[in-house]
Amino acid sequence: MFERLSLSSAEETEATGRRLAQIIFAAVPDSLCIYLHGELGAGKTTFARGFLRGCGHTGRVPSPTYTLVEPYDCGAYQVFHMDLYRIQDGAELEFLGISDMWYTRSIQLIEWPERGAGGLTDADLQVFLKVIPQGRSCELRAGTPAGENILQQWPV
Ligand SMILES: Nc1ncnc2c1ncn2[C@@H]1O[C@H](COP(=O)(O)OP(=O)(O)OP(=O)(O)O)[C@@H](O)[C@H]1O
Ligand SMILES: [Mg+2]
């Protein structure tokens, strides 16, 4: 199952992230892992910023480029926004305390997941962002039944 969207501005990218968070909060899954794919500048952090707004976070959403992980306390969920661009392989993720994250009720938003291959759980949802002349294309794909359940509720 997948959804394909065309986003003509950064505001639309944010709004899409926000909508996804709202659906997830309404569906109350246990925990959820979301991979954000796309080249440099494709809009992954912009999407994550909107997502965190949809989770009720009102403060800053800095890019985790240097910290690698930014945690947010969003009521029902701990949200972990990660950027693994600077990671060489999945084994380095141990130092981020990533295995502890699975024990809390959490949502993980992971930029550059391919860099953490071998150290991450499979994605429930994958977001593919691409630069196109009109802005960005965005494809949402489900990878598990939990992800399917979320996408089924995407408004048409
Ligand atoms: N739909 C869109 N149309 C036009 N510009 C957009 C759109 N979505 C995001 N942008 C812009 O793209 C730029 C890069 O966005 P962003 O930092 O989110 O990319 P990124 O994928 O996280 O990059 P990186 O891989 O470096 O972390 C920003 O200036 C943002 O405003
Ligand atoms: Mg980014």
For 56-96, write each residue's pLDDT tens digit: 999 999 999 999 999 999 999 999 999 999 998 888 888 77
98-144 pLDDT, tens digit each? 666 667 799 999 999 999 988 899 999 999 999 999 999 999 999 99
Angle between helices 10-27 and 44-54 (to 10 degrees): 40
Cβ atoms of 150 and 24 within 8 Å: the answer is yes
- β-strand 77-83 against 135-142: which pairing, if any? unpaired
- Please tell me the residue having the least CA distance from ligand 1 atom 23: 41
Ligand nearest to the CA of 135: 1
For ligand 1, is residue 16 a contact (CB within 6 Å)? Answer: no
Tokens of residue 76, six digits:
């029902």
CB of 81 closer than 6 angstroms to any ligand 1 atom: no
